[in-house]
Amino acid sequence: MLPHKKIESALQSAVREVLPDADVSTVLVRPGDPKFGDYQSNALMSLAKTRKLNPRQLATDVLAKLDLASVCEKVEIAGAGFLNFRLKNSVLVESLQAAARGEHLFFEKASSPKTIVIDFSSPNVAKPMHVGHIRSTGIGDALQRNLRLLGHSVISDNHIGDWGTQFGKLLLGWKNILDRPALECDAIAELERLYKIINAECDANPARLEEAKAELVKLQAGDAENISIWQEMTALSQKQFDEIYSRLGVKFDHALGESFYNPWLGEVVNDLLAKKIARESEGAVGVFSDSSLPPKEDPFLVNRDGEWIDDPALVRKSDGGFNYTTTDLATIDYRLKTWSPDEIVYVVDDRQSGHFKKLFAIFARWKSDDAKKVKLIHVGFGKILGDDGKPFKTRSGDTVKLGDLLNEAVERAYKTVSEKSSELPEAQRKEIARVVGLGAVKYSDLLPNRQSDYIFNWDKMLALQGNTAPYLLYAYARIKSIFRKIEVNLSLATRHSSLVLAAPEELTLANHLLNFGITVEAVAEEFRPNFLCNYLFELAGKFTGFYENCPVLKADDVATRDSRLALCDLTARVLKQGLETLGIETVEQM
Ligand code: ARG
């Protein structure tokens, strides 16, 4: 067991001895301030708070039951009731040696793995994937990788927007003004063109709008021709989505689009009506406040000029069509029946937070027993802005297509690589540029706190200095170059050497390596890949400190050299694993 896990489990048992009914799943240890210890736990303060106990007294009682003599040099109470743990040096060394032997890489599989459905990316058919889709796609993919690394059973599902009113207009366009050659050349651009033209016509001419509605009704009624055109549109869009996913290295277990749930929507609404959860209003059907919450927290109310008014979630339109919420309700039901997940995680733009609050509340009212078995979580995120602080657009003011953005990233990276490493053959420079360019876009999106908006900046994300993907990739390649210079059989050297951690920089690096597991656990708990970005950035910095102060190949003796080589190798492995967990590939040479 890894040291932080040993501390955690000892702490959990000690807490249970003092407070037998406490929920110890939140009693976690985190990296500490090196001045005070290697690890810290603040769990006792929140436990004391909820139970109205004196936190320092609780800490003292827990400490009395805590037996960590074999792991820690000392355990101390600090501040209002923090616990600080200082690891024994021998434990640190043993743990690194086990890692050098390949027994672990500083993380452990979760002791009680969960089944987690993760809903991410979810673009809409007949619209191109734009820059904003990097957010849900990148964050979602990093989270699925991170959760899998920890041994959870993850089911990723791409909830594609492949159903809805836009298809009436698209069908009308397809039947009247389709340009086949253009469709073959760039299907989504042609579908977009159809939509724009017909949409404008519908705005200007009510008769045209009626025609579009009639096409939609035929589609929904299963008309063979319309279904087959719709299928073609969906397949063409999916082809373009798949191209982007394959470039980004993103995989889904399922892509059950909105249309998949269509057969159940009528039943959902009838059931909501029968259970008096929904009611009719002006011909439509909606779910309203049940007054169970104070107005401020009630998702079904909004404040207009100081007055709380209804803000229902519609589940059936007055024309009989169904809403986004209806589909999402059927989707939860299906996911529970099919996979019995412990959690369903939605990686979707924060602008939809109102939708998810309503959705989760309706589900809890609709299927209260099922709702108790699953945690529904909206993992939201902010916008990507341009230099002007407004949503990021092309110079001409259009939305930036994701495919174009990725091309530009790779082209820009190619220029830098060719300047810096002109000696490398072109094919290799191209490959480096691909990894660096895609990595830079993904990393710059994962790095900020996901809820904040961030400003898109090519120079910043592609810089070799600073908290960027190129910097981390370069750090990795530099370590790899050390091993290219020597002829030592690394596995022999590191497996059999005993590690010596003497210099302060060696100790700092070793301690930080040990924190990899805690970091990925924290990412999984809070759905925040930025924790891992910052961890890796610090790792690269600590490695530099070590490398500058502790000669490796020119070490005084073979034992020291091999010990330091082992540290180099472990750093490279953690960097690679960490980047891979963020969905970023590595190159051996840059
Ligand atoms: N297609 C939707 C959109 O582009 C996102 C879907 C998110 N997932 C969900 N289950 N609602 O806004």
Condensed to tens digits (0 to 9), the pLDDT of residues 82-102 reads 999 999 999 999 999 999 989
Comparing CA positions, the residue from 299, 301, 312 lying closest to residue 353 is: 299
Pocket test for ligand 1, best of 120, 159, 258, 377 (most atoms within 8 A of CB): 159
Question: What CA–CA distance (Å, rounded) separates 101 from 96?
Answer: 9
In this structure, the answer to whether residues 562 and 430 fall within a common structural domain is yes
Predicted confidence band of residue 583 (pLDDT cuts 50, 70, 90): very high
pLDDT tens per residue, range 332-390: 999 999 999 999 999 999 999 999 999 999 999 999 999 999 999 999 999 999 999 99
Q: How crowded is residue 356: how many other Cβ atoms within 10 Å of its Cβ?
A: 20
316 belongs to a structural domain: yes
290 and 154 together in one domain: yes
Cα–Cα distance, 19 to 560 (Å, whole number): 48
- DSSP category for residue 350: G
In a domain, residue 495? The reply is yes
| Enclosing domain of residue 412 | 402-581
Q: 489: pLDDT confidence band, cut at 50, 70 and 90?
A: low
For the CA of 359, the nearest atom of ligand 1: 11
Amino acid at 121: S
Residue 577, both tokens? 């694993």
Mean pLDDT of the chain: 94
Q: Residue 511 is encoded by which pair of tokens?
A: 């301690």
- Distance (Å, whole) CA 242 – CA 249: 10
Q: pLDDT band for position 395 (50/70/90)?
A: confident
- Which tokens belong to 393? 């657009």
* Rounded (10°) CA dihedral 295, 288, 325, 373: 70
Q: Is the pLDDT confidence value at 497 over 90? A: no
Which residue puts its alpha carbon closest to atom 5 of ligand 1?
122
At residue 477, what are phi and psi to the nearest 5 degrees?
A: -65, -35
Question: Is 318 contained in some domain?
Answer: yes
pLDDT digits (tens, 9 = 90+) for 193-242: 999 999 999 999 999 999 999 999 899 889 999 999 999 999 999 999 99
- Residue 441 has a pLDDT of 98
Taking alpha carbons only, the member of 160, 392, 363 closest to residue 261 is 160
Average pLDDT over residues 242-247: 97
**How many angstroms does the Cα of residue 262 sit away from the middle of ligand 1?**
15
> Which tens digits make up the pLDDT trace of 7-33?
999 999 999 999 999 999 888 899 998
What is the CA 68 to chain-centroid distance, rounded?
Answer: 35
Based on the fold, state whether residues 483 and 417 are members of the same structural domain: yes
Considering the domain architecture, whether residues 489 and 532 belong to the same structural domain is answered as yes
Q: Does residue 490 register a pLDDT over 70? A: no
Give alpha helix (H) positions in 221-367: 224-248, 265-274, 324-339, 353-366
Q: Is 291 left (phi over 0), alpha (psi -120 to 50) or beta?
A: left
* Longest pairwise C-alpha distance within the chain: 88
Which of 122, 131, 135, 381 has most ligand 1 atoms within 8 Å of its beta carbon, as the pocket-test mutant?
122
- Whether 416 and 522 map to the same domain: the answer is yes
pLDDT tier at 396, thresholds 50, 70, 90 = confident
Which of 324, 346, 381 terminates a domain? The answer is 381
User: Alpha-carbon distance 388 to 584, whole Å?
Assistant: 29
List the CATH number of the domain containing 503: 1.10.730.10
Q: Is the pLDDT of residue 498 over 90?
A: no
- Dist. CA 233 → ligand 1 center (Å): 19
Contacts of residue 265, Cβ cutoff 8 Å, sequence gap at least 6? 322, 326, 327, 330
Best CA proximity match to 152, nearest among 333, 5, 341, 1: 341
Mark whether 421 and 364 lie in a shared domain: no
pLDDT band at 473 (very low <50, low <70, confident <90, very high): very high
Q: How many domains does the chain have?
A: 4
Interior/surface letters 469-493, b for 16+ CB within 10 angstroms, e for the rest? bbbbbbbbbbbbebbeeeeeebeeb
The answer to whether position 190 is within a domain reads yes
**Ligand 1 pocket residue status of 122, Cβ below 6 Å:** yes
Backbone region of residue 156 per phi and psi (left: phi > 0; alpha: psi in -120 to 50; beta: other values): beta
Q: Which two tokens stand for residue 107?
A: 């993380």
What single-letter DSSP state applies at residue 398? P
274 and 228 in a single domain? The answer is no
State yes or no: pLDDT of 528 exceeds 70: yes
231 and 140 in a common domain:
no
Pick the residue whose CA is nearest to atom 11 on ligand 1.
Answer: 328
What confidence tier does 484 reach under pLDDT thresholds 50, 70, 90?
confident
Q: Is 149 helix (H, G, I), strand (E, B) or coil?
A: helix
Residue 412 shares a structural domain with residue 511? yes
Q: What is the dihedral of CA 348, 350, 351, 353, to 10 degrees?
A: 90
Checking if the pLDDT of 446 tops 90, the result is yes
Cα 549 to middle of ligand 1, angstroms: 51
- For ligand 1, the distance from its centroid to the CA atom of residue 235, given in whole angstroms, is 18
pLDDT at residue number 164: 85
Query: Averaged over 248-276, what is the pLDDT?
Result: 97
3-state SS, residue 481: helix
Shared-domain flag, residues 467 and 570: yes
Separation of CA 161 and ligand 1 centre (Å): 7
pLDDT value at 500 more than 60: yes
Q: Which atom of ligand 1 is nearest to the CA of 349?
A: 12
User: For the residues of 176-235, what is the DSSP string, one character each?
Assistant: HH--HHHHHH-HHHHHHHHHHHHHHHHHH-HHHHHHHHHHHHHHHTT-HHHHHHHHHHHH
* Strand 82-87 versus strand 39-41 pairing type: antiparallel
Kindly tell me if the per-residue pLDDT of 491 is higher than 80: no
pLDDT tens digits, one per residue of 270-306: 999 999 999 999 999 999 999 999 999 999 999 999 9
